[in-house]
Amino acid sequence: MKIVFAGTPEFAAQAMRAIDDAGHEIVLALTQPDRRAGRGMHLQASPVKEFALEKNIPVLQPETLKRNSADLAKQAQAQEAYQHLSKIDFDAMVVVAYGLILPQEVLDISQQPGRHGSFNIHASLLPRWRGAAPIQRAIEAGDLKTGICIMQMDAGLDTGDTVLISELEITPEETSDTLHNRLATLGAQSIVSVLNHLQAGKDLIRTSQEAKGITYAEKILKNEAEIDWGLSAPEIDRRIRAFNPFPGATSNAQEQTMKFWSSRIPNAGTCSKTGIPGELLGFSEDGAYIQCGNGVIEVLEMQKPGGKKMSASLCLQSLGSDKQALRFHAKE
């Protein structure tokens, strides 16, 4: 099948590679413009663009697909993309973490006679966690399972019919980083399954999303990073794991902003001490016990400013002060 692919990050690139490996032809890649990143703030291509260039796939990088943009330069980019899509021959469009809204007129091109429409790989069990950050919000909320939905796109925000659902358990020590990787693999497998199904001439079973159980995964903001030690241990544990790798949970100690990368809830009786919220209670083999508003959390991996990630026990013992009096707190 001939595919138009729209996506930007590594999550999307993994699906793109799988589609190519399965023998489908990607005739056009849409991805966001190059962004400045790294210490040198050099322009960097997205993972989707890098793969497209490697495979000699044409690439378009409009800042918007809305032809009615008030910005004339953006309007011209959108017009170019629309004209290109209108002229090329393709069978279906696959959209994965693209980052731009597809207007109805673009969806209409993919739904012309003889075409199968546009399909989106969404990393949640819709209608739960529609929106920008389904992986992080699922961990933060304490969900026990998540998965991949292949959705037939419409003009709404993740409101289209699902054509394939694959479930995945969320482990007790799951971070957004590890869950992202597992879901990326599952998403790549799932979209290839759908495309192979269409290529074989089989009809897809479309299922409307339920009207109940709708939740929205709001974009993760940097100001969510600071830990509120007045929360319960399970709440703090979930937030630390949900915010790995971005934005990284933080808290202050000895006038340093420390980052917290992984944690867990210790077994009952493991730490017999109690204290005030944010207080360091002691050390485990690799971690550190910290008092929460209700219960104790075992932090496993931390990072000092300018340092590398390391076990929480080594990180805190390297501070070189009275560890027993150490307490984490919010920025003043």
Q: Residues within the annotated binding site for (6S)-5,6,7,8-tetrahydrofolate?
A: 124-127
Give the bridge partners for 167, in sequence order: 147
Cα–Cα dist 256/328, whole Å: 10
Residue 154 CB neighbours (<10 A):
17
Asked if residue 287 lies in contact with residue 311, where contact means CB atoms within 8 angstroms, the answer is yes
Asked if residue 185 lies in contact with residue 203, where contact means CB atoms within 8 angstroms, the answer is no
- Stretch (H or E) spanning 29: strand 25-30
Which residues sit in the known binding site? 124-127
Helix orientation angle between 10-21 and 176-199, rounded to the nearest 10 degrees = 30
Asked if residue 49 lies in contact with residue 58, where contact means CB atoms within 8 angstroms, the answer is no
- Stretch (H or E) spanning 283: strand 280-283
Hunting for tokens 């899509």 — which residue is that? 85
Q: For residue 324, with 0-12 CB atoms within 10 Å meaning exposed, 13-18 middle and 19 or more buried, which class applies?
A: exposed
Q: For residue 322, with 0-12 CB atoms within 10 Å meaning exposed, 13-18 middle and 19 or more buried, which class applies?
A: exposed
Q: Measured between alpha carbons, how far is residue 75 from residues 29, 49, 81, 123 in Å?
A: 19, 22, 10, 31
